[in-house]
Amino acid sequence: MTNTLTGSCLCGRITFRVTDEFETFHLCHCTQCQKATGSAHASNLFAQQTGFAWLTGEERLKRFDVPGRAISQAFCIDCGSGMPYLTLSGSGLMVIPAGTLDQAPSITVKRHIFYGERAAWYDDLAHIETYQDFPPS
Ligand SMILES: [Zn+2]
Ligand SMILES: [Zn+2]
């Protein structure tokens, strides 16, 4: 029996379910993903559309397809959280931003891609101070 995971946005209005059978899971460091996420990389799972369904709030989604760009973005219009979207490739694959999931997927991260475009500040992060929550003030 295949497991089903749930996902949600920060405000909780949009929820979805997805079968825990992902095609791949990668971290994309390309400059487009840096712009789109405002961070070092996108963390994307790819799932067949047939195993995906919106549970609540589908009408709260706003999708952006940027002309001339290969990537799209979908957001909750109430809280701005990045949300899953169907790729434009015709492959029937959904892009699932990993942080939207409410449970850990069984797949592990498979690769870094476009690492040559990574943010200059990304290197050596393993050596910086790390805290389990807020740092001491
Ligand atoms: Zn939201
Ligand atoms: Zn990218």
Question: Do 87 and 95 touch, CB atoms closer than 8 A?
Answer: yes
What's the 34 CA to ligand 1 centre distance in angstroms? 21
What's the 1 CA to ligand 2 centre distance in angstroms? 33
Question: Do 79 and 10 touch, CB atoms closer than 8 A?
Answer: yes
**Closest ligand to Cα 118:** 2
* Environment of ion ligand 1 (residues, CB < 5 A): 9, 11, 13, 76, 78-79
* CB-based burial, 49-84: b 16+ in 10 Å, e otherwise: eebbebeebeebbeeeeeeeeebebbbbeeeebbbb
Structural domains of the chain, ranges and CATH numbers in brackets: 4-118 (3.90.1590.10)
Query: In this predicted model, what pLDDT tens digit does every residue of 37-87 receive, in sequence order?
Result: 999 999 999 999 999 999 999 999 999 998 877 778 999 999 999 999 999
In this predicted structure, what is the pLDDT of residue 112? 96
Strands 22-28 and 93-97: unpaired
Geometric angle at alpha carbon 123, from 119 and 127, rounded to 5°: 145
Going by pLDDT thresholds of 50, 70 and 90, the confidence category of residue 137 is confident
List the beta strands (DSSP E) in 9-134. 15-19, 22-28, 42-48, 52-56, 61-65, 72-76, 82-83, 85-86, 93-97, 111-113
- Distances in Å between the Cα of 110 and the Cα atoms of 17, 28, 48 are 22, 11, 17
pTM for the full model?
Answer: 0.92
